[in-house]
Each structure stands twice: as C-alpha cells, then as structure tokens.
C-alpha cells in the first residue's frame, strides 16, 4: 500500500484548484477582450514611440526598390500579428494577476469573510 502525505495531498489539491481557477479566469479575459469590453488606452509615451517607428518605417520604405518594399510589407504584417499575439498574452496574464491580487486583498485585508452567501 502506498501512502500519500497530507502535505502532498494538500499541495496537489491547491495546484488543481489554481489550474482550474486560471482556466476559468483566462476564458473570462478572452471573452472580455473579444467583445470589446477591454478598451486599452495608449499612453502618451507609447504614442510618441509609435510615431517614431512610423516615421522610420516610411523613411526606410522610401529607400527600397519594389521587391524590397514588398518584403518589408510582408515583414511588417508578420510583426504586427506577432505583436498582437504578444499583447493578447500580456492582457490575459494581467487579468489573471489582477484577479489574484483582488482575491487576496479581499480575503486577507477586509472584513468580507464570505458574506456573499445567500444562505
């Protein structure tokens, strides 16, 4: 007979709970992002950087021949797609981190103590 320690069982249970919670919160974040409920305003700093990038892009584009411009366009499209995927991942991770922060704060820093039950 193989015995499992209580510490291991509790750790395993907590890991399973956390994985399930992350999956549910991830789906909520994906839905929020997909339905447009997550409007993200760009900072002044980001806007300044984007303007610089656009200026440099056009400066480079104007020095290229037709074939090179097509290659640059294809590169830009692929880069934009990768950037969008990266931003998506960061949004999801931030959503999950925000949930964990709020859950921890409510649990340990307020008098809430599960008073949301209807029973």
Provide the residue ranges of all domains of the chain, joining segments of one domain with +: 6-57+83-107
Question: How many CA atoms are closer than 13 Å to the CA of 42, on its beta-carbon side?
Answer: 9
- The pLDDT, as a whole number, for residue 3 is 86
Helices within the chain (DSSP H only): 6-34, 44-61, 66-109
- The pLDDT, as a whole number, for residue 1 is 78
- For the stretch 50-75, pLDDT in tens is 999 999 999 999 999 999 999 999 99
DSSP state for residue 64 in the 8-state scheme: S
DSSP state for residue 42 in the 8-state scheme: P
Q: Which two tokens stand for residue 59?
A: 């400066």
CA-wise closest residue to 33 among 101, 93, 96, 92 = 92
Q: Over 60: is that where the pLDDT of 117 sits?
A: no
Phi then psi for residue 51, to 5 deg, are: -65, -40
- The pLDDT, as a whole number, for residue 41 is 85
> 23: pLDDT confidence band, cut at 50, 70 and 90?
very high
Q: Over 80: is that where the pLDDT of 118 sits?
A: no
- The pLDDT, as a whole number, for residue 116 is 59
- For the stretch 79-115, pLDDT in tens is 999 999 998 999 999 999 999 999 888 888 877 666 6
């Amino acid at each position: 007979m193989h015995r499992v320690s209580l510490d291991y069982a509790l750790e395993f249970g907590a890991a399973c709970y956390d994985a399930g919670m992350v999956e549910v919160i991830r789906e909520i974040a994906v839905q929020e992002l997909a339905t447009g409920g997550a409007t993200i305003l760009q900072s002044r700093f980001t806007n300044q950087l984007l303007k610089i990038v656009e200026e440099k892009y056009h400066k480079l584009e104007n020095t290229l021949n037709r074939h090179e411009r097509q290659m640059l366009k294809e590169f830009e499209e692929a880069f934009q797609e990768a950037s969008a995927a990266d931003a998506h991942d960061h949004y999801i991770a931030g959503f999950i981190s925000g949930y964990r922060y709020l859950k921890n704060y409510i649990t340990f820093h307020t008098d809430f103590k599960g008073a949301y039950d209807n029973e």
